[in-house]
Amino acid sequence: MGGDAYAPPAPICKPFKCPKGQKPAGNGDHKLWSYGCKDSGMNILSMADINNPLGGGMNKGKNVDKCCVERDICKQTCGTTSQECHNAFQACSKKTCKGDQNCNLAAMMSDIRSEPDDLPEEPKKPIPEVFDYEKDKQKRDCRGYEHFQKSACVCVPDEDWQLTTDANLKNFYRTHNPEKLDDAGEIKDINDVWKKWKGKEPQMFQALAAKYKAKAVTMKVKPAPPPYKPPPPLSKEEQAKEDKRMEENRKKWAKEDEQRDREREETKQRKAEEKEEAEEAKRAEQEGETVEL
């Protein structure tokens, strides 16, 4: 990896949508949370200590915990796009790390491990004959974002959207900065707020949550994966079936290899014949020119 930053392309995920006549608004009951990324990778310069694989260097100096928290805020803000959350995280981690290898590794591992642990299990489907890797990767990359948007958004009638948005803003200030409200519980200078943020409401709520993240975001610990359990040994009948299947596959693969060898030899022979014919035609042309002279 060297000193290069981890920079995969932004996933293009489906936005949260509502039925006709309704519009997505922030879910006032959703509580922002994040795993952060203080311990999201291994110190590649301190891997010799098997009792502390994260090493001392990962938790010292530069770290992208701020970037990880703000990325999760973005994903949990109704109306943001997967691209803007991804691009903001990449820009933040690049600015923070400035080529530091351990910092870049932490950013990479956090991005890979940032999915919530409560994602619904996908139904198992047979693997198609033609596997579309890019489509499958896009689907996997979007699972966390789409899950967060479902939690962060609710559908409200079009005519109620502004009232719901105003209420969400008041509730946010009431919880995290009551000084922004007047004695009647209304937002001070509300006209100035909408003059600045009208049409950019998702960005407004995202900016507010980032500003007050120490209060607004609950930090969680990523659950450790269950210990690996090897599969139980096969019974005699199952082993016999597996041996038969592998034998059939080996025969199939051998035939495919033979077919490829034949095709390769035929192609080689055909090219040699074509080359010989071309040389003969060239010689005949040269001899014809000599006779004319």
pLDDT tens digits, 82-112: 999 999 999 999 999 998 888 888 888 887 7
230: alpha, beta or left, given left = phi > 0 and alpha = psi -120 to 50?
beta
User: What number is the average pLDDT over the span 143-151?
Assistant: 94
Place of tokens 């990449």: 90
Higher-confidence residue of 37 and 60: namely: 37
d(CA 49, CA 287): 80
pTM above 0.75, yes or no: no
Which of 52-61, 124-133, 184-193, 244-253 has the least mean pLDDT?
52-61
Contact 183, 47 (CB under 8 A): no
What's 33's DSSP letter?
Answer: E
Percentage of residues in the chain having pLDDT higher than 70: 81
Asked whether the predicted pLDDT for residue 262 surpasses 60, the reply is yes
pLDDT of residue 55: 41
CA–CA separation, 107 and 7 (whole Å): 10
d(CA 80, CA 60): 32
Whether residue 36 contacts residue 114, with contact meaning beta carbons closer than 8 Å, is answered with no
